[in-house]
Amino acid sequence: MARRLWVVLVALALSGAAHGVTEAADDKPAGSASAYPPIQPLIDATPDGGTLTLDPGTYAGPAVIDRPITLDGQDKAVIDNGGEGSVVTLNGDGSTVKNLTLRNSGHMLDRIDSGVDVRGRSNVVKNNVIEDCLFGVNLQQASNNVVRQNVISSKHIDQGMRGDAIRLWYSTDNQIVGNHIEDSRDTVFWYSKDNIIRDNVVIRGRYGMHFMYSHYNLLEGNSYYDNTVGVFLMYSDSIVMRGNHIERSHGASGIGIGFKETSGVTIADNQVLGNATGLYMDVSPYDRDMTNTIERNRIAYNGIGILFHNEWSGNVFRANDFISNFTEVAVYGGGGATKHQWESNHWDAYEGFDRDHDGIGDTPFQHFQYADRLWMDIPEAQFFRGSVILELLDFMERLLPFSEPRLLLSDARPSLNANIAPPSAKEQP
């Protein structure tokens, strides 16, 4: 009898313990990764070359793939990392991650906590939603990879503390195509060459695209809206940048396209619209044997069309359209821009005639600096830009100069007609 009573008591105790465990599991927050089934055992059970097609639902990360397999979420599966580390890490070659929602990475900038961390070659990351991840896609010494048609956003923290939407470090021959990026920090390439960046949209970031010591890259057909800086080329030579749309780079440091000690670049057929500064040029080209060619761009509605950090030479400005900029060209330091080559640009501020109707102005377009030099030489005077008093001073000096105006540039054959068509409405976000 005593033995039977002891058995019953033990059974009740075990039942209570099990019930307590169940209650503890039920008490876990729904967003906790440990509340979901882990993804890694499913990956480990997938053979080389196989496809792991996930059922709809949420899985707990992290996911580490070091073999050539395909991970397919069918647009219905989520991997949640519980706020620690990177969600997916690709250590091997030839794997594919697609059709997934990846969320809730760690917060550590020094660990580069990412939605997808790529360390191998010939991998494909496509059609994923990467959200609440510090970094979006990180390619670290990774080459010949494809990052295509992903939707990427960072964590809801101060912009400077977010990670980069797409980051390349010593990575070559990659394709970054058709991604949509919002509310991240930068898209940045470090020491990375021969990459293609095409048809991406970047909104409300810090640097929409930032090259650092990265040469021979192609930037084509991308759109950048409401970033602090649209595109910045820093110590990066032989970049080709064509057919991009850069609009509303705002703030005191707002720049559409920036150049810092950059040589041999081609900037063609871009729309640079409504920025604080359209183009910013600083000691570029740095290599005096190389020329930067800026041609057939529409530079319009900016505070300053082109701002030169200092008096320099070596740039060719050909067949660009300068339309409705508050100031067409400005040079800090009291210099001019006459050492650059200006050819057949369209200037809506041109006041000459075309008597033979050949579409070329009869006299050169010459841009002088009058009283408006005040706001360039005296920072405090920028407050009065566009004010009645500064406009009156400028008008009086043009009418009856009381100081010798400075010639900023001369275009011998200005085009009377716009060289390129304005952007279409469908390009607006």
Helix (H, G, I), strand (E, B) or coil at 312: coil
Range in 335-344, 362-371, 420-429 with the lowest mean pLDDT: 420-429
Q: CA-to-CA distance for 187 and 174, rounded, in angstroms? A: 14
Which single residue is written with the structure tokens 């033995």?
A: 3
pLDDT digits (tens, 9 = 90+) for 226-257: 999 999 999 999 999 999 999 999 888 899 99
Number of H helices and E strands in the chain, helices first, is 4, 38
Using only C-alpha atoms, what is the Rg of the chain?
Answer: 28
Each residue of 369-415: pLDDT tens digit? 765 555 566 666 665 665 655 556 555 555 666 566 778 889 999 99
Q: What is the pTM of this model?
A: 0.85
Alpha helices by DSSP H, 27-157: 40-44
DSSP category for residue 204: S
Domain borders along the chain are: 38-183, 206-370+405-429
Indicate the range of 24-28, 312-316, 340-344, 367-371 predicted with least confidence: 24-28
Instruction: Give the separation between CA 239 and CA 241, rounded to whole angstroms.
Output: 6
pLDDT given for residue 138 in this prediction: 98
Q: Tell me the DSSP string of 220-277.
A: ES-EEES-SEEEEEES--S-EEES-EEE---STT-EEEEEES--S-EEES-EEES-SE
pLDDT over 80 at 27, yes or no: no
Q: 60-94, pLDDT tens digit by residue? A: 999 999 999 999 999 999 999 999 999 999 999 99
Residue 190, strand partner residues = 169, 212
152-205 pLDDT, tens digit each: 999 998 998 999 999 999 999 999 999 999 999 999 999 999 999 999 999 999
CB 128 within 8 A of CB 97: yes
